[in-house]
């Protein structure tokens, strides 16, 4: 076997822990260390937990760094710093800022002779790939994206900020009849907020005004106004038992036409028990591809659009053609 790809992880929240699991499932990879701004007592796999300030000492010990911080603050700052030292893969998902982030990563990685794969995950990521593929194959058609059933961290946080709320989780759920209408080729005209339900589970402080909380949720602009919103109050025990997971998923469709009356439905779907574990698994596969891309001389930033699928797999080109084509 060739030498293993040496992986590091920056950030040790849910995504970082998922990355630790994912690297362990890829036998051509070796996890070297986990880096964090926090002082960690250790890691699940036993690899060293290292303060981020010492990351520079690992320049010759790590090939690809998986950036597992959040887009909003961590990545915008850490990304360009780390990509000046290592090849990187991240799941930057603040859509409006992707061009700006791409430019920053491209500059830092290129100057250092490194490769930086940005916005890798499932959306952006696998969903984006399918949108591109479906549109290229069927130039005439309509795209649909549905998200869920899945936890929206932003909406859950927004509910938790309401007075009297102790804990909360918001699931985004696509309306089944809308998904089915698309799947059956009915080409419905739909708005995203009309085809998703916002389902909220709330633990209230004792003595809180439940009706006021429910009203505060349903009338919250940007987050809930315009959506079919359900609010269910649950006990702390029930919340822990039934709402501690982080599921997600969704569907990308394209309904296309190749000649009058000749219609085709292209569908891609994910149903994920754990959003961070799956996202981290995508990062791991793209770490392999990014390492190979770099070995072939690529420097700068790239996205899932730029990477041939062959490089995602540990199998040889011959094996892929024989077994998977």
Per-position x/- string for 220-249, each x denoting binding to a second copy as judged by CB under 8 A, each - no binding: -----------------------------x
- Work out how close the CB of 167 gets to a second copy at its nearest, in angstroms, rounded to a whole number: 22
The answer to whether the beta carbons of residues 48 and 33 sit under 8 Å apart is yes
Q: Nearer to a second copy by C-beta: 158 or 246? A: 246
Q: Nearer to a second copy by C-beta: 154 or 185? A: 185
Q: Does residue number 136 form part of the binding site for a second copy (CB under 8 A)? A: yes
Q: Does residue number 111 form part of the binding site for a second copy (CB under 8 A)? A: no
Q: Specify the pairing of strand 64-67 against strand 87-90.
A: parallel
**How many residues comprise the chain?**
325
Piece of the chain touching a second copy by CB under 8 A; list 167-175, 204-212, 225-233, 300-308: 300-308
The answer to whether the beta carbons of residues 103 and 136 sit under 8 Å apart is no
Q: Nearer to a second copy by C-beta: 83 or 229? A: 83
**Among candidates 269, 304, 301, which has minimal Cα distance to 283?**
304
Which member of 95, 166, 186, 240 binds a second copy (CB under 8 A)? 95
The answer to whether the beta carbons of residues 234 and 228 sit under 8 Å apart is no
Q: In what helix (H) or strand (E) does residue 210 lie, and over which residues does it extend?
A: helix 210-218
Q: Nearer to a second copy by C-beta: 149 or 198? A: 149
Dihedral sign for Cα 291, 296, 299, 302, please. negative
Q: Nearer to a second copy by C-beta: 23 or 200? A: 23
Per-position x/- string for 140-179, each x denoting binding to a second copy as judged by CB under 8 A, each - no binding: x---------------------------------------
Which member of 110, 160, 218, 264 binds a second copy (CB under 8 A)? 264
Q: Does residue number 273 form part of the binding site for a second copy (CB under 8 A)? A: yes
Total number of residues binding a second copy (CB under 8 A)? 70
Piece of the chain touching a second copy by CB under 8 A; list 5-13, 31-39, 92-100, 146-154: 92-100
Q: Does residue number 4 form part of the binding site for a second copy (CB under 8 A)? A: no
Site for a second copy in 45-84 (CB under 8 A): none
Distance (Å) of CA 60 to CA 26, 32, 63, 85: 21, 11, 8, 9
Can you read off the two tokens belonging to residue 290?
Answer: 């990014």
Piece of the chain touching a second copy by CB under 8 A; list 48-56, 71-79, 162-170, 284-292: 284-292
Rounded CA gap, 201 and 94, in Å? 26
Q: Does residue number 263 form part of the binding site for a second copy (CB under 8 A)? A: yes
Question: At which residue do the structure tokens 């690992």 appear?
Answer: 58
Can you read off the two tokens belonging to residue 193?
Answer: 């907020």
Q: Nearer to a second copy by C-beta: 235 or 258? A: 258
- Work out how close the CB of 253 gets to a second copy at its nearest, in angstroms, rounded to a whole number: 9
Per 3-state DSSP, the chain is made up of helix, strand and coil in percentages (nearest 5) of 40, 30, 30
Q: Got the DSSP string for 44-107?
A: SS-PPEEEGGGGGGGTTT-SEEEE-S-IIIIIHHHHHHHTTTSEEEE----GGGHHHHHHHHHH
Q: Which DSSP state fits 172? A: E
The residue ranges that bind a second copy (CB under 8 A) are 18, 21-22, 25-26, 95, 98-99, 102, 119, 124, 126, 128-133, 135-140, 183, 185, 249, 256, 258-259, 261-274, 277-278, 280-282, 284-285, 288, 303-310, 312-314, 317-318, 320-322, 324-325
């Amino acid at each position: 076997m060739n030498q293993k790809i040496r992986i590091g992880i920056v950030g040790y929240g849910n995504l970082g822990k998922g990355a630790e699991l994912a690297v362990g499932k890829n036998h051509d990879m070796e996890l070297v260390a986990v880096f964090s701004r926090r002082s960690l007592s250790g890691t699940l796999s036993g690899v060293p937990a290292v303060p981020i300030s010492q990351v520079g000492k690992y320049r010759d010990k790590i090939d690809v760094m998986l950036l597992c911080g959040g887009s909003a603050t961590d990545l915008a700052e850490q990304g360009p710093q780390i990509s000046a030292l290592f090849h990187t893969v991240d799941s930057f998902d603040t859509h409006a800022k992707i061009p700006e982030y791409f430019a920053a990563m491209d500059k830092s990685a290129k100057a250092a002779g490194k490769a930086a794969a940005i916005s890798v995950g499932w959306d952006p990521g696998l969903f984006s790939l399918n949108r591109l593929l479906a549109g290229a194959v069927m130039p005439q058609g309509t795209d649909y994206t549905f998200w869920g059933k899945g936890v929206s961290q932003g909406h859950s946080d927004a509910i938790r900020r309401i007075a009297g709320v102790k804990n909360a989780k918001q699931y985004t759920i696509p309306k089944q009849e809308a998904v089915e209408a698309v799947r059956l080729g009915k080409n419905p005209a739909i708005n995203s907020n009309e085809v998703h339900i916002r389902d909220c589970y709330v633990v209230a402080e004792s003595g809180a005004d439940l009706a006021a909380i429910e009203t505060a949720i349903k009338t919250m602009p940007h987050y809930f106004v315009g959506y079919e919103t359900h609010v269910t109050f649950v006990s702390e025990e029930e919340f822990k038992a039934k709402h501690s997971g982080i599921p997600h998923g969704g569907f990308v469709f394209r309904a296309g036409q190749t000649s009058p009356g000749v219609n085709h439905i292209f569908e891609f779907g994910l149903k994920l028990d754990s959003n961070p574990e799956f996202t981290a698994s995508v990062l791991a596969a793209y770490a392999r591809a990014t390492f190979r891309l770099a070995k072939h001389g690529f420097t700068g930033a790239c996205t899932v659009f730029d990477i041939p699928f062959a490089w995602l797999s540990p199998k040889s080109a011959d094996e892929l053609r024989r077994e998977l084509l």
